[in-house]
Structure 1
Amino acid sequence: MNTRLAVLAAALLLGASAPALAASAGGPKLDVIARDFVALTLEAGEREPGYVDAYYGPKEWAEAAKAHPRAVPALKAEALRLTAATRAVDDAALTPDERRRKAFMLGQLRAAETRLAMLEGQKFSFQDEAQGLFGVRPPLKPLSDYDPILARVDGLVPGEGDLAARIDAFQSQYVIPADKLDAVMKAGIAACKARTEAHIALPKGEKFDLAFVTGKPWSGYNWYKGGAHSLIEINTDLPVAISRAVDLGCHEGYPGHHVLNAQLEEKLTKGKGWVEFSVYPLYSPQSLIAEGSANYGISLAFPGAEKVKFEREQLYPLAGLDPATADAYDALMTAKADLASSENTIADAYLSGRMDKPTAIAALAKYGLSSVARAAKRLSFIETYRSYVINYNLGQDMVRAHVERVGASQDARWKAMAAVISEPTTPADLAR
């Protein structure tokens, strides 16, 4: 049996065991497109390591993709074919849920076209790349627009002279000792989970494993394994600050990546038989939703002053740090958040060649209020993931605006968040 038929046969087997979809003329057409999309994504993952962030579908599909991946030009042609086929599905023949499914699929396919074109050597501007991959066109403000924020931050840090150096010295007081890192991180994650579970039902038996790694361009990563199981890795190349315990616990875990992937698996892949959600291509609008909701999830789980209160009462003593200084450090972290989108401007200038490497590192240190070493680590992330950086700041802003449109009720906000991370949400949906 040839590879394509093997994949289709496996798809049909999966479909036979999946729940019946809502009766409609368009649903079966989307099922076939979805199966081909999974094959396309898995094969693209063989052509670019890291392209597939998570996969928990049938092993036979992954084995077939590994054994006979098509060349990049053929994969790009397949993405174009699937886009045309998806567009041809009549909206009138679809249920409301299926129309959302179709819109989600079109965004994923456009991202595949864009990324495959990049692998062929095609160059895009920063904004065009972001639009193609993640479904949004990020605004880029001049770095000078962030200078008033720097002036405000200056008043929060003791001493005189270079602001980034003073901040680096100040933050060194808030590093979690290496021998206490495991206990502090687990305590932070446990608190994030407890607050999430109070509002979102988690799949039975869900769990995560925690590991500490080095030599990575990122500070933390969630590797979703399927079956509501994640591996959360924390990078210790640089010292880990006390604020990162809750930040990473929420972002990588609850209600962030772990919960999003578990919800999509349970409600869409298993619940509806929508096999396209069994694979997560990193370079896709799904990442804007994932990173944006994971970042917003921090303030949703710990609104207002609750985060610093928890850190002061629980994490500082556990880490052996002085709880009396928690408020001063939290004020600095809050102010730094207003500088987040400066990274988009720097990434645009660096990736286009308008800013050289030393200048980019200096700019990231200045506007990221970090040490040169930490700025260099961040630039390595930009070099690896390029316009992906927009998903953290712009994605967070979009998810926040969408969720908080329901009003000030925390219950209502959690309900809106649950919908974002368990439905075929697109960037366009966040504007509603």
Structure 2
Amino acid sequence: MMNINHIAEHYVKLVLAVGQHDAGYVDAYIGPSSWQTEAQQSSATPLPTLLAQADTLLQHARSLSAPPDDQLERQQFLVLQLHAVRTFIAQLNGSKLSFDDESRALYDAVSPPLTPADLDITLAELAALLPAEIQGSDLNVRLSAYNKAFEIPRDKLDAVFTAAINEARARTRRYITLPEHESFQVSYVSNKVWSAYNWYKGNSHSLIEVNTDFPMFISRAIDLASHEAYPGHHVFNVLIENELVKEKGWIEYAIYPLYSPMSFLAEGSANYGIDVAFPHTERMQFEKDVLFPLAGIDPAKAERYYQIQAVLQKLSYAGNMVAKQYLDGEIDRDAAIAMLMKYSLSDADRSAQRIRFIEQLRSYVINYNLGQDVVQAYIEKRAGKTNQDLRWEVLTDLLRHPKSASMMA
């Protein structure tokens, strides 16, 4: 009978083998290099064989005798990760799932139902907030005209983003003990479907890539600095590597398959971590004092700008609604772009980029907004909304003890 450590080792090798069929599947790997080399040098294992291996591992994982209390959640999470691997293999082999069934199988969560009518009240609220001098009947055009004043000039982007990361890092290190040698590198890239990406390289080091296909708005500087770095993806991966892989020897955490419950926690905690690191009043002060001047943007415009950002946040689930309808075949590509322009209020080019993201990552989109809401509910149930010390404590504990959506319910 296999124990949990044997299952974990086979799981890592299975994920590496699946990665030979999909280049984007393995998001990060910090395990034995020999396992990776073996997977790369062997011819791709046929998908039906991998599917059978996943079924066998799932059976073993589910039939494990009751583990010690400190490993019960480890077993629960590993079972869900294995179920996601099995689902993804089946999809590569031709299995078709609806949007909701796919997200449930891969991420252990389903986005709440939403219709365009649910968003119309928010659109009216936003229209009333935009300055009266910005005329026009098309809300998207009005918002695009307003947002122009809040674009970070390309030649100032690095200074603004670096300042945001440094502040996020300083705030995080007050509450989370990190290795002295932890580090990151920032690179500016183009022609991507995402706005930024953290590539974890191991040994407490990350490469953060920032996409410059479109100008970055000033609100995105702190969002991306916190989400991708502190206390987001970089910190999460550093804790996983040092405390779960190196200290406990839980080898399953040496690999991160992108389409898995791990992403729900990673994206959700990274998004909610923005608010933990930068409570609204403190964020506004830092933006006005540091980031707006660095970007050459008038700090006097910050208050209304962030009022508008708060209303836009209410539209975050619009992307899930559009992705579901598009991927389930209810609307075509042009209609999906038009819906994003109306309900997410992104311009035509950004909406087209968003559709490319949806086409590539499919139901992954739920991990950002639903993930954030589930993590927020979990943390605020235990720490409230105003006790900063306790919020940091619960967030850090969650990063050190990964849980899926159903485990946080």
Asked if Structure 1 and Structure 2 have the same fold, meaning a TM-score greater than 0.5 normalized by the shorter chain, the answer is: yes
Q: Name the residue aligned to 1:421.
A: 399
Match of 2:235 among 259, 262, 266: 259
The 5-angstrom pairing of residues 166-245 of structure 1 reads 166-245=142-221
Q: Name the residue aligned to 1:10.
A: none
Name the amino acid aligned to 2:157: L
- Whether the 8 Å CA contact 1:288–1:391 is kept in 2: the answer is yes
- State the 1:144 CA deviation: 1.2
Identity in percent: 45
Deviations 1:43-62 (A, max 9, x none): 11111010000001111010
**Counterpart of 2:264 in 1: which secondary structure?**
helix
- State the 1:329 CA deviation: 1.0
Name the amino acid aligned to 1:199: Y
- Whether the 8 Å CA contact 1:230–1:258 is kept in 2: the answer is yes
**Counterpart of 1:421 in 2: which secondary structure?**
helix
Match of 2:83 among 94, 98, 110: 110
- State the 1:429 CA deviation: 2.6
- Whether the 8 Å CA contact 1:291–1:395 is kept in 2: the answer is yes
- Whether the 8 Å CA contact 1:180–1:318 is kept in 2: the answer is yes
355-364 vs 215-224, greater mean Cα deviation: 355-364
Deviations 1:260-279 (A, max 9, x none): 01101111001100000000
Q: Name the residue aligned to 1:375.
A: 351
Aligned length: 403
Matched, 1:157 2:130: yes
Matched, 1:135 2:108: yes
Give the distance between the partners of 1:304 and 1:320, measured in 2 at CA.
22
- State the 1:305 CA deviation: 2.3
Q: Name the residue aligned to 1:403.
A: 379
Name the amino acid aligned to 1:58: P
- State the 1:204 CA deviation: 2.4
RMSD: 1.1
- State the 1:315 CA deviation: 0.4
Name the amino acid aligned to 2:184: F
- State the 1:234 CA deviation: 0.3
Q: Which runs of structure 1 show a deviation greater than 2 angstroms over 4 or more consecutive aligned residues? A: none
Deviations 1:371-403 (A, max 9, x none): 111111111100100000000000000000001
- State the 1:420 CA deviation: 1.1
- State the 1:424 CA deviation: 3.0
**Structure 2: segments with no counterpart, 5+ residues:** none
- Whether the 8 Å CA contact 1:269–1:278 is kept in 2: the answer is yes
Q: Name the residue aligned to 2:334.
A: 358
Matched, 1:36 2:14: no
- Whether the 8 Å CA contact 2:265–2:402 is kept in 1: the answer is no
Match of 1:78 among 42, 53, 61: 53
Give the distance between the partners of 1:274 and 1:343, measured in 2 at CA.
35
Q: TM-score with structure 2 length normalisation?
A: 0.97
Give the distance between the partners of 1:132 and 1:157, measured in 2 at CA.
41
Give the distance between the partners of 2:188 and 2:367, measured in 1 at CA.
24
Give the distance between the partners of 1:363 and 1:120, measured in 2 at CA.
31
Match of 2:297 among 296, 299, 321: 321
- State the 1:160 CA deviation: 3.1
Name the amino acid aligned to 2:130: V
- Whether the 8 Å CA contact 1:165–1:370 is kept in 2: the answer is no
Q: Name the residue aligned to 1:430.
A: 408
Match of 2:277 among 301, 326, 338: 301
**Counterpart of 2:94 in 1: which secondary structure?**
coil
Q: Name the residue aligned to 1:95.
A: 68
**Structure 1: segments with no counterpart, 5+ residues:** 1-25
Give the distance between the partners of 2:29 and 2:360, measured in 1 at CA.
21
- Whether the 8 Å CA contact 1:140–1:344 is kept in 2: the answer is no
- Whether the 8 Å CA contact 2:108–2:261 is kept in 1: the answer is yes
Give the distance between the partners of 1:401 and 1:296, measured in 2 at CA.
10
Q: TM-score with structure 1 length normalisation?
A: 0.92
Give the distance between the partners of 2:56 and 2:402, measured in 1 at CA.
22
Give the distance between the partners of 1:108 and 1:153, measured in 2 at CA.
40
Match of 2:30 among 56, 68, 80: 56
Name the amino acid aligned to 1:67: Q
**Counterpart of 1:339 in 2: which secondary structure?**
coil
Deviations 1:269-327 (A, max 9, x none): 01100000000000000000000000001111111222222111100111111111111
Name the amino acid aligned to 1:87: R
Name the amino acid aligned to 1:372: A
Q: Name the residue aligned to 1:272.
A: 248
Give the distance between the partners of 2:169 and 2:355, measured in 1 at CA.
31
